[in-house]
Amino acid sequence: MKMIGKKYLLLLILPALLTSCFTPKKVLYLQDLGAEMVQEMKEADYEAEIRKDDLLQILILAQTPEAAKPFNQSALIQEMSNTTNNPEQSAYLVDVNGCVDLPVLGRMTVEGMTTLELKNKIKQELIQKNLIKEPVVQVRILNFKVMMLGEVKSPGAIEVKGERITLLDAISQAGDLTMQGRRDRVAVIREEAGKRTVHYLDLKSKAIFDSPYFYLQQNDVVYVEPNDVKSVQYRSGQLGNVTPWISVLSSMLSLVTLIVAFK
């Protein structure tokens, strides 16, 4: 009877040992986040700046559509081609000097400005030159995108439909980090004033909220490094995940020890 009882006990222990080998690990973000946190953010903290090679959609509206037509490239193109307007075809390309050429208003430097700043600048010029009495101006970056590379589940370009995107938003849209990705060293590569800068953020710390790199800018590149285990696997040519099999071997050794003990 004792021998039968030991066999039943062994059968109960075996599934638990094997299950523990393949239980997915949980990774915690923002580990130092308190129960209560209040944070104030200024508008300038997350507004995207206009860069060279940006495609800008600029619409000028007036009380009467005819009064605004000469100021809209989209309306002029549509009138000349007699086709349906495509926002990208009628967009203003920011040239290598950071400028755009606007109908009537002429050449304007826009690089480094936010969409809100450009909107106000165009509005002021229209009013000061007495071109439109009460204009409504809309400005949008059409090709706002960021790149996700490295240890994310869906690497590639992420198109931003709105006016801003955070690092956590971008990671979420890329399907989160893989288990092999380093959460304490995520690189944000940004080009500013002709210089490329690299800043590292720790996703396990709430300090990322205070970083100027938390809100991503146009053409930012986010790179997630592999952890040490993944790096060793690449260097040795063994790309498969060997960790579960090590756990299985350990469990089998434990099982053999139990069998010997029950004899």
Dist. CA 245–CA 247, nearest whole Å: 5
**Pairing outcome for strands 181-192 and 156-159:** unpaired
pLDDT tens digits, one per residue of 62-99? 988 888 888 887 665 555 555 555 656 678 999 999 99
pLDDT tens digits, one per residue of 24-50? 555 556 555 554 545 554 444 577 889
Residue among 56, 261, 228 nearest 138 (CA)? 56
- Helices marked H in the chain — which ranges? 2-21, 65-68, 73-81, 115-128, 167-173, 228-236, 243-262
pTM value surpassing 0.75: no
Chain centre to alpha carbon of residue 46: 13
**Cβ 59 vs Cβ 138: under 8 Å:** yes
Mean pLDDT of 126-149: 93
- Looking at mean pLDDT, say which of 13-17, 85-89, 148-152, 254-258 comes out highest: 148-152
pLDDT at 73: 78
Dist. CA 256–CA 261, nearest whole Å: 9
Environment class of residue 139 by beta-carbon count within 10 Å: exposed (0-12), middle (13-18) or buried (19+)?
buried
